[in-house]
Structure 1
């Protein structure tokens, strides 16, 4: 239930972000407030559960900062892809994050390539071609910026996965998320439109920003990590499909978006193939294995999400 709630919340956050950007708000500003409100929640979580935080560890700070760079890119590129394209396309492309994890793992020799993995990656690539329509950009609705930003959001999420994974042995998930969200705020404040950021505090749209932060980064991350403690990773991988499905339905119902038959086929290829990869990885438990955490139950692996 907790994993499903987290995935559902992430899906809704994409749609809410789409509404805000439709009102003229910059993707970086939307991402900033999503992370800032999320930081308040994980700070409260850390205050309630300070045991084993690991905040005295330099390695925790370093890898958590790497995770922060990843989540900053993930939020920003995701909303940029929505602004330039659609919620459905952006959410599905972000769901490709495990493919980037595999490719980086192959390059670093942390993962052994197999025919199954290469075939799965090839199917995902075919799905991306069909979903984005890059074979016929002149007739397609998805721009190069939208497609590129969507893929970069997935790549950024892969960076978050690596950062979180390497930080996990040195502290608690709430401490990692506090540092990661703090880094996100610093990065996006430097990149964003400061005038717009200030204007948010005195706009009629501020309730949407609050809901976005609560659903997209506050309660959702807590729900997800707590849920993983009581859920088999293979089940979590399947349940996580709630996110792109929810985002797509939100776009169709509330933002008047539509997908062609080939785009729907491409989306299906991506979702089912990535889910199969995640299930296989969770059964083998051999993806990106650094020194294991002292308490594996305490700090679950976020790769099981997508």
Structure 2
């Protein structure tokens, strides 16, 4: 069991790092160049991992890598940006909190992982916890924004499950690097076509881009795919609920935001959901 909880800790690096990007992006990076922001996040991370893996795609990976790169990085990053423009952050976060359901739902037919009652109870706790953490918008919610956010969730969940199904004993660093490079190249082409030249940033902006590429992308996605290879997908989805929790906590610590009693209760529920998920190794 100790090894399994160690895997939970490794997997948790991903949502915590992703949650930290909210504060970094808001304070240090330009808001009017989302495609370049995504490209400068994915492509350098992929090249870094490729330099460490020192392995080129072979056989079917010449088409699998572009497919996974578009799902996990290209299409996902663009859809998340569009959803952020159309939806209040509380609604967008609440939709993404359904990731345990989408991951487990896809893992059942594609990976043979059947959800358990314990996982279902943990998912219910976790979703309620996220709603308490991020709040709930009382205004009019654009249907298009909800559809785009739900599509982003499905795309990312499908990409993660397919990456696990197609792993075929290929080293994780290699498969992650190929996906990031393929997705990063597609994003770069889109950025040039839509946004033109890369944005100009100061030294702090360069450091922010580097940190997001190395920590919140290269390291985070290696940890995320490690979790999917060795833990049930539904458990990985529950661990992913640490993403909005991290964003809120950093907003309190760095941005001077206040933390309400309901948010504290939500954080407790999310942690309880993860603890109740009872990790179990599914693949060696």
Which residue of 1 is the match for residue 201 of structure 2? 203
Contact 1:6–1:220 (Cα < 8 Å) also in 2: yes
Which residue of the partner structure matches residue 17 of structure 1? Answer: 25
Equivalent residues in 2 for 1:110-125, closer than 5 Å: 110-112=112-114, 114-124=116-126
- Aligned partner of 1:133 in structure 2 is 136
C-alpha distance in 2, partners of 1:148/1:270?
25
Match status 1:247 vs 2:254:
no
Q: Hey, what's the Cα distance between the residues in 2 that align with 1:154 and 1:207?
A: 29
The aligned counterpart of 1:71 is 72
Q: 1:17, CA displacement in angstroms? A: 2.3
Total equivalences in the alignment: 267
Give the drift of 1:211. 2.4
Q: How does 1:1-16 map to 2 (within 5 A)?
A: 3=10, 8-16=16-24
1:66 Cα deviation (Å)?
A: 3.4
1:103: how far off? Answer: 1.9
TM-score computed with the length of structure 1 as normaliser = 0.65
Residue in 2 aligned with 1:182? 181
Contact 1:35–1:184 (Cα < 8 Å) also in 2: yes
Q: Deviations over 1:53-86 (max 9, x none)?
A: 6x3231x344433331232244344455556544
**Separation (CA, whole Å) in 1 of partners of 2:111 and 2:239:** 30
Across the aligned residues of Structure 1 and Structure 2, the Cα RMSD in angstroms comes to: 4.3
Contact (CA 8 Å) 1:40, 1:218: kept in 2 or not?
Answer: no
State the match for 1:300 in structure 2: none
Deviation digits for residues 22-78 of structure 1, max 9, x if unmatched? x4333333212110121121121122xx4xx6x3231x3444333312322443444
Counterpart selection for 2:105 from 85, 94, 103:
103
Alignment gaps of 5+ in structure 1: 286-291, 297-306
Cα 1:172–1:245 change in 2 (3 A) is: same
Structure 1's 203 and 126: CA in aligned 2 closer, same or farther, altered over 3 A? closer
Distance 1:255 1:152 in 2: 30
Partner of 1:34: 41
Q: 1:145 to 1:30 in 2, by over 3 A?
A: farther
Contact preservation (8 Å) 1:18, 1:82: no
**What's 1:304 paired with?**
none
**Distance 1:38-1:144 versus aligned 2 partners, 3 A rule:** farther
Q: Partner residue of 2:214? A: 214
1:211/1:160 Cα in 2 relative to 1: closer, same or farther (>3 Å)? same
* Deviation of the 1:105 alpha carbon: 3.6
Give the match for residue 59 of structure 2: 57
User: What is residue 160 of structure 1 aligned with on the other side?
Assistant: 159
Structure 2: segments with no counterpart, 5+ residues: 1-5
The change in CA–CA distance for 1:145 and 1:220 in structure 2 (over 3 A counts) is same
SS of 2:198's partner is helix
Deviations 1:107-141 (A, max 9, x none): 6693445544544455555556654526x335xxx
Q: State the TM-score, normalized to the length of structure 2.
A: 0.69
Q: Distance in 2 between matches of 1:265 and 1:193?
A: 45
3-state SS, counterpart of residue 31 of structure 2: coil
CA displacement at 1:15 relative to structure 2: 2.2
